Structure 1
């Protein structure tokens, strides 16, 4: 039933392998470069899948930000409904629908990766030397992939192997079971550690949560790496490499998002807002020299302002049409508004009546 998916994954890998083979001059399968072309094919399979899923990642981030903005209103609803869970659930669903927030959008990038991972696992587990072609691969290409090595361990081998596949892989020149287990164990440990740090980063990105969501986060933080450590002993080395590369991509992608879009209310968000806010000079009510210009509220234009002490023009100061160059009305160029047009002040020459 899933043969079409297995065929698609093997086809993408074959295309990347062909590209690297062309760049490296078609090296022998059992050579260092021959193994490198298949390693790079797995790495760029991750790149292909993650680029396709990037729009879903953007939707996930927007959904999480929208959910964070709703937290104060949800807290009010919890106080309002108290122990009435059904009423609270209906009120929350109505609020989310009104604001256009979909809580399931946070799972969008994860769900499509599951069948890809299972497909790669299925393809590499069926790989063995001298076997007929798999899916979109010819007999020669299948045999070449089965013999390709990462640090001396074939990408189709695993920590725990048995049967005819184990015999066929150990017959490859220069391959020992000790080397396979060392490479596999190191990759298992690295895969679990990167999974743990990836989940920690996801918790930072999503911000503080309460109740069931907090419990789910803790389960994912500790249970997922532990489960991967146990199951990693049956994963082919190529699958371990895929998961490790996928974790590295996720770490880099989330690091970029956290720097550009820190969670609302977090220390990073407050620091970013403070850094973007210009420093105002209390004397001129204008940003200090070197500060970023700011457009005042109401959309009024910003004009240069003169320093009262030196007369030098500094950065911007708001104007409202009744002032110019940051000076109060009637004091442009050191003269009042009346004398500017050659007129005398209205009270000049008149004595004050007692």
Structure 2
């Protein structure tokens, strides 16, 4: 058995998986956009606050309205009734855990949410939109019950718009209702736009070895989930559905998402564009029909500004949890997360959930790993005979290999059996890696003692050191390679993997440590049983 070659293959396979996983994150294939046979009505959608102000000679009045709930601290600007700042009270800031996560802002960076009314490009009307002064007409600014209505009103060019943001206790969902009334003496045909504006800054707290997706995403039943990057917008190569009557638009970053979910069943156009220097916007535009004088219409939408909570997102729309990006491992990562969520509902701690998950996986793979450990135990027992064959045949590799293969067949030994336990771990390891990296439920989740965040690296490197120690112990239980070079490589292997674990999430290292401990117990038991059986057989013959 060429142990050196087997180890090199294992390292190559593991590294290839990691490179492929990260490459997929940045190069997920986009589905082709089908040609649209209808031409949507063209509108001039405002790009951002800075663009609107730049085109006006006077500065419109602006007042900031701060609204607080048990999960939010939101700031609305009366200029356009925009949402310009959002602090997620229950989620800590990556760089300063004493502060709350700031998801939306228009001062330190640009990431805001707007909506408004516009006319067709050939109609000279300026309806209430994000550069229109609104009046804050509700009174309560602190959520005291289950819901809180935040109401703004504006009039412009014969249209009165009353916008109501409804906030919910314990939820990042915001229901948005636009009540549009024609207060002029002529018919009006406004359209409603919903928009997310953001610059291209990278969110803080990323892992260099584990890049996550930061960019736009559009969903429709026709084209499913489509990602669009900043680079694709810059190059005018973005491919996404342009009209739909279902789905949603969003901006995704690690652990968090902002999404507009318009009322389903209404035809709308979708646009992604560069809105200024390093500023981009995504919007939907929906025609509200023709309003006669005095006539009103209501449009409803849902806005999500918060964590990628899969259960809560799916409650809004069954497809919205697609923003939790597991990459090409989605097919097995989603069932794994569902199993972990079920276990967590009973255990109440994500660290112990990982421990129990590891035990379950170990039990499922027991037959395969047991066969491998039996083969390794037999290999250790015949090591003196292998050494004797080496001395017998010297440099005649052909005869030596033939004699060793004959011995393996006689003793029913698989010479590559020692590779199987690690190879079996790789797909599980990579899937758990994606789950830990993409699931906000793991962010800030403690295990015990010094492990206060399973999604971050062990701050004191205790788990990686334990992992290295358990790997060394496993090596001691394995047969020692007769070749000194191969023996040295086997001893270096725990150092290589252990060094990698210094930078990986603690939850992932916890899985590997528990798996190693279970493997040591299993390997020791199988070796003991085989040796006992062999001794009993010798005593019987005597």
Normalised by the size of structure 1, how large is the TM-score?
0.50
Retained in 2: the 8 A contact 1:60–1:109? yes
Alignment of 1:38-57 (within 5 A): 38-57=350-369
1:18 aligns with 2:342: yes
Retained in 1: the 8 A contact 2:358–2:515? yes
- Kindly name which structure, 1 or 2, has the bigger radius of gyration based on alpha carbons: 1
**1:61–1:112 CA distance, 2 compared to 1 (3 A):** closer
Length, aligned pairs only: 216
- Provide the rounded CA distance (Å) in 2 between the counterparts of 1:147 and 1:98: 54
TM-fit CA distance, 1:92: 2.3
Q: Find the counterpart in structure 2 of residue 8 from structure 1.
A: 332
Task: String of CA shifts for 1:289-347, please: whole Å, max 9, x gaps.
Answer: xxxxxx897xxxxxxxxxxxxxxxxxxxxxxxxxxxxxxxxxxxxxxxxxxxxxxxxxx
Instruction: Indicate which of 226, 231, 248 corresponds to 2:495.
Output: 226
TM-fit CA distance, 1:149: 2.8
Retained in 2: the 8 A contact 1:9–1:116? no
Alignment of 1:191-202 (within 5 A): 191-202=464-475
Task: String of CA shifts for 1:114-140, please: whole Å, max 9, x gaps.
Answer: 121122223322x3xxxxxxxxxxxxx
Retained in 2: the 8 A contact 1:12–1:45? no
Q: CA RMSD in A?
A: 3.5
Instruction: Indicate which of 513, 519, 525 corresponds to 1:256.
Output: 525
- Provide the rounded CA distance (Å) in 1 between the counterparts of 2:365 and 2:336: 15
Retained in 1: the 8 A contact 2:436–2:508? yes
Normalised by the size of structure 2, how large is the TM-score?
0.35
Alignment of 1:79-158 (within 5 A): 79-125=391-437, 127=438, 142-151=439-448, 153-158=452-457
- Provide the rounded CA distance (Å) in 2 between the counterparts of 1:262 and 1:198: 23
**1:255–1:60 CA distance, 2 compared to 1 (3 A):** same
Q: Structure 1: which 5+ residue stretches go unaligned? A: 25-32, 128-141, 159-183, 278-294, 298-354
The structure with the greater share of residues assigned to helix is 1
TM-fit CA distance, 1:273: 6.3
Q: What SS does the corresponding residue of 1:185 show, helix, strand or coil?
A: coil
Retained in 1: the 8 A contact 2:375–2:414? yes
Task: String of CA shifts for 1:231-280, please: whole Å, max 9, x gaps.
Answer: 2332112112212222222233234334434499xxxx8xx769x97xxx
**1:118–1:254 CA distance, 2 compared to 1 (3 A):** same
- Provide the rounded CA distance (Å) in 2 between the counterparts of 1:232 and 1:96: 35
TM-fit CA distance, 1:153: 2.6
Q: What SS does the corresponding residue of 1:242 show, helix, strand or coil?
A: helix
Retained in 1: the 8 A contact 2:375–2:415? yes
TM-fit CA distance, 1:75: 4.1
Q: Find the counterpart in structure 2 of residue 347 from structure 1.
A: none
TM-fit CA distance, 1:209: 4.3
